[in-house]
Amino acid sequence: MIFQRYDQQWVGRFDTLLSESRLVHGFSTRKGGISSAPFDSLNLGINTFDDSKNVSINRRRFLHLLGVSEEQLICPKQIHGDRVAVINVQPEYSQTDAMITKTMNVALSIQVADCVPVFFYDPSVPCIGLAHAGWRGTAARITWKTVNTMVRSFKADPKSIRAFIGPSIGPCCYQVGKEVQPRFHSQYVFHDHLDLWGCNRDQCQEAGILDQHIQISGVCTRCNPEFFFSHRASGGKTGRMMAVIMLRE
């Protein structure tokens, strides 16, 4: 992933997708917004205790950089579940942590601050997907289910789907307790540290995505608290970044 600078703001993008003219995607940072501590400064999360007016201005700033309008944005009510919603003309997105669509100009978005955003793109349909995979969603195999839903709903071909694991808490920092560890195969837990990146990568592979089509950003949000909101680094009270993906007409 590369971070492109626009004045005070940054947009993270996967370099292999930059040449895809019909695709818009991006990941925000905490830089360049108007919110004050502990939401400083580009808080894009609506369910935080930040002033909603600030969040709204921050969102407009970030979406402007992507060329996405607020009317195009689909914001699901995330619950750390495993539901995958198929977004068509009428968006239905309550209690949803993953979405897929093949509709043009519909911007899928999720809010994160350590949880793993997984972006999907199948150029052959074309169609896209976006999953919010914290430990609960990952344990419930949301990434595998998202790919599977793309295949069933849109006849996407796993061999043509590209998957991108965005900035999130890495195995370097994600210490988990005894209630979380048994939910995962021991291969993903090293000295109490959970590897959500590896687990989501493997779910992509199990769903049929080719190894060379899976990219892990390798950027840990907890390791870079000046650049990203991190639930762990802040002790819980913090802002949210946003992951966005849209097919452009």
Name the residues that contact Zn ion, by CB under 5 A: 170, 172-173, 220, 222-223
Nearer Cβ to Zn ion (18/172): 172
Nearer Cβ to Zn ion (91/171): 171
Instruction: Please report how close the Cβ of residue 171 comes to Zn ion at its closest, in angstroms.
Output: 8
Nearer Cβ to Zn ion (125/173): 173
Instruction: Please report how close the Cβ of residue 195 comes to Zn ion at its closest, in angstroms.
Output: 11
Nearer Cβ to Zn ion (67/218): 218
Instruction: Please report how close the Cβ of residue 163 comes to Zn ion at its closest, in angstroms.
Output: 21
Instruction: Please report how close the Cβ of residue 141 comes to Zn ion at its closest, in angstroms.
Output: 24
Cβ atoms of 193 and 171 within 8 Å: the answer is yes
Q: First and final CA of the chain: distance in angstroms?
A: 24
Per DSSP (E only), the strands in the chain are 2-6, 9-13, 23-27, 73-74, 84-86, 98-101, 107-112, 116-122, 127-133, 162-165, 189-190, 193-194, 214-216, 241-247
Instruction: Please report how close the Cβ of residue 173 comes to Zn ion at its closest, in angstroms.
Output: 3
Rg (alpha carbons) of the chain, rounded to whole number? 17
Side chain identity, residue 235:
G
Nearer Cβ to Zn ion (226/249): 226
* Backbone torsions φ then ψ of 242, nearest 5 degrees: -130, 140
Instruction: Please report how close the Cβ of residue 227 comes to Zn ion at its closest, in angstroms.
Output: 12
Nearer Cβ to Zn ion (98/220): 220
Distance CA(196)–CA(168), nearest Å, equals 9
Q: Which of 115, 127, 80, 109 shows the shortest CA–CA distance to 243? A: 109
| Beta carbons within 8 Å of 87's beta carbon, 6+ residues apart | 74, 93, 99, 100, 101, 103, 106, 108
